[in-house]
Amino acid sequence: MEARRALSRLNRALEKAQRELDAVAGALRHAEAGDFPASEFDAAADHLRAVVDFVEEQEQRLQEKILHAGGLEPGRVRRGT
């Protein structure tokens, strides 16, 4: 349970980091115009996305372990709509 909470906190922090990176990029793009280092910001965004993907993979892995420990198969669980 603590691992799920920690992953959720990290996911929220990453979402905030993405918003902040976008805000900084927007402000710098406006201030610097042609001198804005777009490729560096694109690289930073790619790195951040890689961490988001990692967290999502860990959340999925943990969910599968929880289901398996409960005697359920991950692919056979239906979610209510």
Question: Measured in Å, how far apart are the chain's first and last C-alpha atoms?
Answer: 24
Assigned token pair, 45:
């965004």
List pLDDT tens digits, range 3-55. 999 999 999 999 999 999 999 999 999 999 999 999 999 999 999 999 999 99
The confidence score (pLDDT) of residue 53 equals 97
User: Model-level pTM?
Assistant: 0.76
For residues 67 and 79, give the distance between their C-alpha atoms in angstroms, rounded to a whole number: 13
> What tokens appear for 37 in the block?
């280092």
